[in-house]
Chain A
Amino acid sequence: MPAAQTISALPASQQPPSRFRWSSLPLVGQAAPVHVMLTVALYAFFAVFLIWPIVQVVRAGFASTDGRFTLAYVRLIFQDPVLVMGLVNATLIAVVTTAVTLAMCLPLAVLSVKYAFPGRGLLSGLLLVPLVLPPFVGAIGMKLVLGRHGPLTQIVTALGWDDGGLGIDWLGNWRFLGIIVVEALHLYPIMLLNLQASLANIDPAMEQAAANLGASRWTIFRRITLPLMRPGLFAGCTLVLIWSFTELGTPLMFDYQDVTPVQVFARLTEVNNNPLPFALVVVMLVASSVLYLIGKSLLGRGFDAATTKAAVQATPRRLTGWKGLAAALPFVIVFVAAVLPHLSVVFTAVSVPGAWYQSILPTSFTIAHFEGALVDELALPSIGNSIQYASVATLIAVTVGLGCAIVIVRSNVPGKGMLDALAMLPLAVPGLVLAFGYLSISVSFKRQMGDATPEFLDIQKSPVVLLVLAYAARRLPYVVRSAVAGLQQTPRDLELAAANLGAGRWTVLRRITLPLILANLVAGGLLAFAFAMLEVSDSLILAQTAKFYPITKAIWELTNRLGDGLYIASALGVWAMVLLTLTILTANAFLGRRMGAIFRV
């Protein structure tokens, strides 16, 4: 008689099913078959929706008409001075934007981590808001503010500047600077979160030991703090660098043609028979990778987690009175500056057409545009579309993200480190590249199958499937990070205790694991949703039929429409921002201080 049956008092039907064999400990022994299957499925997902599109782009950029490898297109790019100029400008924008955000965020990070002052929590939270408000939307407002006779000109002339009655051509003269300012004000939260995280992770004893040996504050910062912040510096700089290098929305709205992403976008209509746009995207991909590798070699060498992890939480130094206010001031300034473009969108949305001209504030107000946005044949469906796409994309991202997190944290499947890296890849791959990847998949199917192409693969007929997948893949890293954090904070023993009582794998997942990490999943999902709602690159490139336009594409089309287009677009933007702010506040309520963990690399 097997021992199990003699010990057991339960009838055989109530016995835990024996096929669910629970591996004794994490990372010990053989991988569970369920984990292996999950891993294989995830690898397949990444292969099809991440690797394949990238390979497609690269192939399209290097393959001649008869399918052979050629460098001709890439050579063409470097022979065209306009395109070379575009690359130079994109690099300049990226480098300067990164430098500006770094200079902005270093003091903010030090202040918010090392000091306590009135309103610290609220201000740090508010500073994250611009992250989900795309500069794309803000730029609509900026264009009006920076108009020749717009409010900024009025303010400057009111201060005594003589514009000679001609107005000031802000955009003409300082377009480049404008793009950098708007991008920096959009991207600084990524930098800030990473710097704050790495600062908070430094064991306070590291700095105290240096002070105790007689080092001055500046010496400590230069010799101890800054070197120990390197992982955060690397993550922040790389993310901002790549993001701004490939940013499409902002220069597009500023009508700045001489930058690669816009040049790629302008050639969108040629993708069916011209490989040049693909070659341009490949060049961007290579350049991004090079930027990443340079960053990695300069800053990327991390430390043993055990030696840098804070043993004790540092107590922030309390600042009161005017010192406290002085510490809060930079936060207020940055926040105001960051929401200013979006504030101008709000003003545009409520001003009567033509009423915000030659005046600091609009001269007459109306709420008609908000109603207009809800009845416009372009605007209204786009809201519905975006909500649908973003919802489905979020569902996919959460499911895949949870799977990845389980494999990464709870399994000992060989190659799970690789899976982790794959899940993070969309952070390093420009959105433009992925969008073009999906585009080229569609193009190559159509080339081979002609009219027999299934509708969901033909973006001209229905971009929905590809768009949703693109959204899901792009924002996957945030969901994965969020779920991984949740699992790591949940002791394995809680699950093992349930298994030990006879619960099967699914019961444990459903009754124990999911409830415990629900907050993380919801927060990660909400972020994915928010990002998908206002995603720019994929939307502009993949949605090519008015019926399927998401909000961002509708805004872009509306701004190009004469008459009330700009105002309807602004109103639409305001609707989207309201929706997003609510989403982010909900996510923040779920995650609280742990919110920052999601944006780390």
Chain B
Amino acid sequence: MTAIRLDRITKAFGSTVALREIDLRIEPGELFFLLGPSGCGKTTLLRLIAGLHQPTSGRIWFNDRDVTDLGTEKRNAVMCFQSYALWPHMTVRENVRFGLNVRKMPRSQQNARIDEVLRLVRMEELADRKPNQLSGGQQQRVALARALAVQPACLLLDEPLSNLDAKLRHEMRSEIRRICKTAGFTTIYVTHDQKEALSVADRIAILKDGVLMQVGTPAELYHRPTSAFVADFIGQTNLLPGKIVSREGEAVTVETPAGRVIARSNGHALPDAVTVSIRPEQMQIVRRGSAGRTNRLTGKPIEMTFLGESTEHVLEINGQRVKVISAPPIFDVPAEVTVEFDAEDVVVLPTEAPPMGHR
């Protein structure tokens, strides 16, 4: 199993900087996600690890080995392309055999290995078909099998589910986790779909405009985002501009347009000008009396959307739009709504988010 370390990786295409000083360590056997909006540089980063691009500066390490100057054919970091890149002139079996042939594996071992991986991806029935006789999901599994067959040092997946329909995507998600964990490879998975990342990843790195914003487990990113961008990108949230008016021990009081909010400090030094993030599902609509939570705001309901298992309410609080999700659904909303939430659920972020890495 291979640990991958990126050391101040920068990649420029002409005058466009696609990636800026990325530092990252991916643990052996980890299922690691690169997540970000399109154009953030995540696919470029994956291709750098695969050796399909050369970094402009910085080094890439596989365990204790510097692989930066190694061509893609010598890295054994095998990629599943977004378009699958199955060779149309070869059958499924021949596609899978290619990498084994290149590695000069004896024929009898090849056959055993091919059968093994095709069984793993549940494609043994269709081994003699040509790629264009397969559906999108089947092609995706063949691409996966082709990569798995050669026992890669690490497996690189580039938006593997983007060409599939919603139902198949859902099935394949857990399938990929099963396969990667069974085989025990270090896997790097690129996606722009935060639900895909949250549901499958061991850890996630979030990229924006070629800069690494935050790395953490799905729970860490959800509960403890370090920037407004991450808070907004993972799940949904209310972002309110604010100013710190008092700091007493762990409690921080922030004056926002919607009212005064008390938050639990995360120990980091904060400037006075901040942004407050409160998730809609962590606010509770209080009908009468109090739920006994630290913070309490009151506003006028202006929109309501029924989501099935919940309702989403938009409140206007002192001219600020605040979104609240209520599960189970509430339909009879009074003309004046009070919400309460805990200090632990308020995340105070510096307004200018400091990206990770060197500055």
Contacts and interface: CB of A to CB of B under 8 A. Distances in A.
Interface of A: 203, 205-206, 208-216, 219, 223-224, 227-228, 230, 303-304, 306-308, 311
B88 A212 contact: no
Contacts of B74: 214
A206 B87 contact: yes
Q: Chain A interface secondary structure, helix, strand, loop or mixed?
A: helix
A228 B88 contact: yes
A206 B132 contact: no
Given A208-B72, A212-B73, A213-B146, A306 B50 contact: no
B84 to A, nearest CB: 8
Contacts of A304: 88, 132
B329 interface: no
Contact of B71 (A211, A307, A311): A211
11 contacts: A205-B82, A205-B83, A209-B146, A210-B87, A210-B98, A211-B71, A213-B146, A227-B87, A228-B87, A303-B88, A307-B132
Nearest to A307: B88
Contacts of A228: 87-89
Contacts of A311: 82-83
A405 to B, nearest CB: 28
Contacts of A306: 132
Given A214-B73, A215-B73, A209 B132 contact: no
Contacts of B73: 211-216
A211 B98 CA distance: 11
A386 to B, nearest CB: 46
Nearest to B134: A307
Interface string B56-74: 0000000000000001111
Nearest to B100: A213
A307 B76 CA distance: 25
A539 B289 CA distance: 102
A212 B52 contact: yes
B295 to A, nearest CB: 49
A208 B85 contact: yes
Contacts of B102: 210, 213-216, 219
A224 B99 CA distance: 12
Given A303-B88, A304-B132, A214 B83 contact: no
Contacts of A210: 87, 98, 102
A209 B81 contact: yes
Those 7 A-B pairs whose CB atoms lie nearest each other, nearest first:
A205-B85, A213-B99, A304-B132, A209-B85, A307-B88, A303-B88, A205-B81
A223 B131 CA distance: 16
Nearest to B99: A213
Given A205-B81, A304-B132, A213 B150 contact: yes
Given A213-B146, A214-B102, A206 B72 contact: no
A307 B98 CA distance: 18
A428 B102 CA distance: 40
B88 A209 contact: no
Of listed A205, A213, A307, residue having the most chain B CB within 10 A: A213
B76 A308 contact: no
Given A212-B73, A214-B150, A206 B99 contact: no
A84 to B, nearest CB: 39
A357 to B, nearest CB: 57
Interface string B83-114: 10111110000000011001100000000000
Interface string B24-58: 00000000000000000000000000111000000
